[in-house]
Amino acid sequence: MDAKQMQRTLGRIIQARRSKLGYSQESFADSIGVHRTYIGLVERGQRNVTLKNLLLTASGLKMPLSTLIAAISDS
């Protein structure tokens, strides 16, 4: 899997988990301290995610970072 595919896969995983938890993009973004448009770009695979934001995202999704990374690898 190349980097672009990983970005798209991560975005799909984040979107699915966020929706499952009942968060809108805006409420989720507010909860982790980023802008709603950033979440939209990440979910569409159009934005690289820093390690800091990946940690915040995993926490906001109520999952360990290792589980989030494993989900990318398993896809």
The sign of the dihedral angle between the CA atoms of 44, 45, 46, 49 is positive
**In sequence order, what are the residues at sequence separation of 6 or more whose Cβ sits closer than 8 angstroms to the Cβ of residue 25?**
18, 36, 39, 40, 43
**Mutual orientation of helices 3-20 and 65-74 as an angle, nearest 10°?**
120
- Domain around 29: 3-74
Tokens at 1, concatenated: 């899997």
Per-residue pLDDT, 31: 97
Whole-number Å distance between alpha carbons of 8 and 32: 20
Q: How many domains does the chain have?
A: 1
Instruction: Extract the runs of DSSP E, i.e. beta strands, from 1-75.
Output: none
The whole model's pTM is what? 0.92
Q: How do residues 4-61 score in pLDDT, each as one tens digit?
A: 999 999 999 999 999 999 999 999 999 999 999 999 999 999 999 999 999 999 999 9
Domain of 29, CATH number, reads: 1.10.260.40
